[in-house]
Chains A and B, each alone.
Chain A
């Protein structure tokens, strides 16, 4: 039997959740105060995921960068592959919040979307 202690990140409370496992399968989860904590713990021990946020270069905009995120959380071990892909993107102004700037980032099946807006530069 194996015990893993996690800090739940589902909300600011940060419950300490203990997962007991046997042979790769979960036999018990304790310490969570809500169902989200249970789901988080299950996922974190089997296939941890993260939302990646960064910035993307914008051409012809009133700002040179726009903030972005992965539309869903992606496998934790693809974070750096995802960052490399994000740093290769060039967006064209104007950019609206929610614009898809890259589909299927790093083979995750998840899109990179803008979280900020950039107007076209007037010159």
Chain B
């Protein structure tokens, strides 16, 4: 039996697990996919929001501003890429400037510092590729960008090193409370736990409603994006938003921490919690709206498009805490934007609740620091050559678009909560994330995965489950395999 079982290994679940690993408790994270960061956490804008958006006094506003303030130190501690590049909320008509002022006022009340309104000239001076229509902009210096994969993976690895168990490919089907403890029926057998944390993203209402009569309702809100090549990454320096008006909500244009250019998202409410397909209309909308605030976006350089689901709760605020009729069940539900920003703060808040409930003692062997995957490209030539002498795998470049070596891929597989699929390797190392979109490196990465995991090539998946990449070895010489 566990003290705490966390459902969902997204950024919220992993942040809670990591904060909880500061205390002496047996903690398990259950995840239906083969890896961490497979749902909402992997397909979003990758923005660390300043905190002017959320309604004054909301939990969202408080945790956004707190999470934003925590992100810099956390990035140092856990070694993931984070950049405070600042954001600009642009308005396209003089008449909308009062809207910017209202946003500024709301931001100040939320505790966001450094906000100011830039005139047309000032805005174009700091961001030359703004469209001529931009009439003014709200500048938020504390806005930033982060790698959502590496943030989530860093939290998970650190939690694992500090004693948290991760159980993947484990789908929770039923939760019930018996004799003061929770029993989770999963596809991989029963899990018993004193407390349960519900960090299940777009499924959080399903689990909440299994144990509480105070029902909540989450709508999967689909957002489609286009990701452009690194050759386009310098098109803007700041994250560019457009002020929502009565004429609609715009899409953002932002550099990513890895130097790509990202545009999106659309916002379409759907019913399918797995509806991460893109649509022609959606991608057209992204391209059209992105061009409103930023000119000459080189969409020819698009390397991929994707869509993600926000877990939109009807009340549009985070739901964190224990329902009155389900003692020991803690929600972290309705975690939509700015959920990624707020995750570190949500982690602390939920861990504090659990600590107080279980009267947990400090974990004296807690290690706060984690080192990311060593990137030889970041080393000076002498150090890099020393590394290659010791580990020749760092001398073989497997992914040529992103210059990822075999050594990094092996590290990604072998480290705690390691990669088990092509996408797992991609999120940890960027192998396959570049302009050829894994075309060149995927057979090589498959070989390395098969070798490191001790599985046949045909068992290697793109992203777990039935996503196998190749069939059985072809029957040659009659001695391998059987007729299919």
Q: Do chains A and B touch in the complex (CB under 8 A)?
A: yes
A residues apposed to B, CB below 8 Å: 55-57, 59, 65, 87-90
Q: A-facing mask of B465-484, CB < 8 A → 1, else 0?
A: 00000000011111110000
Chain A's interface: helix, strand, loop or mixed, by majority?
Answer: strand
- Distance A65 CA – B476 CA, assembled complex (angstroms): 9
Contacts of A56 in B (CB 8 A): 476-477
Contact of A88 among B474, B478, B480 (CB under 8 A): B478
The size bracket of the interface on B is under 10
Contact of B480 among A55, A57, A89 (CB under 8 A): A57
Contacts of A90 in B (CB 8 A): 477-479
Min CB distance B318 to A, Å, is 54
Chain B's interface: helix, strand, loop or mixed, by majority?
Answer: loop
Our count of residue pairs bridging A and B at CB distance below 8 angstroms stands at 21
Contacts of B480 in A (CB 8 A): 57
- Distance A55 CA – B475 CA, assembled complex (angstroms): 11
- Distance A34 CA – B52 CA, assembled complex (angstroms): 76
* In the complex, residue of chain A having the shortest beta-carbon distance to the beta carbon of B477: A57
**What are 21 contact pairs spanning A and B, CB under 8 A?**
A55-B476, A56-B476, A56-B477, A57-B476, A57-B477, A57-B479, A57-B480, A59-B477, A65-B476, A87-B474, A87-B475, A87-B476, A87-B477, A87-B478, A88-B477, A88-B478, A89-B476, A89-B477, A90-B477, A90-B478, A90-B479
- Distance A117 CA – B479 CA, assembled complex (angstroms): 22
- Distance A113 CA – B457 CA, assembled complex (angstroms): 28
- Distance A57 CA – B191 CA, assembled complex (angstroms): 47
* In the complex, residue of chain A having the shortest beta-carbon distance to the beta carbon of B475: A87
- Distance A90 CA – B476 CA, assembled complex (angstroms): 8
- Distance A65 CA – B478 CA, assembled complex (angstroms): 13
- Distance A56 CA – B480 CA, assembled complex (angstroms): 12
Contacts of B474 in A (CB 8 A): 87
Min CB distance A56 to B, Å, is 6
Min CB distance A20 to B, Å, is 44
Contacting A at CB under 8 A, from B438-484, are 474-480
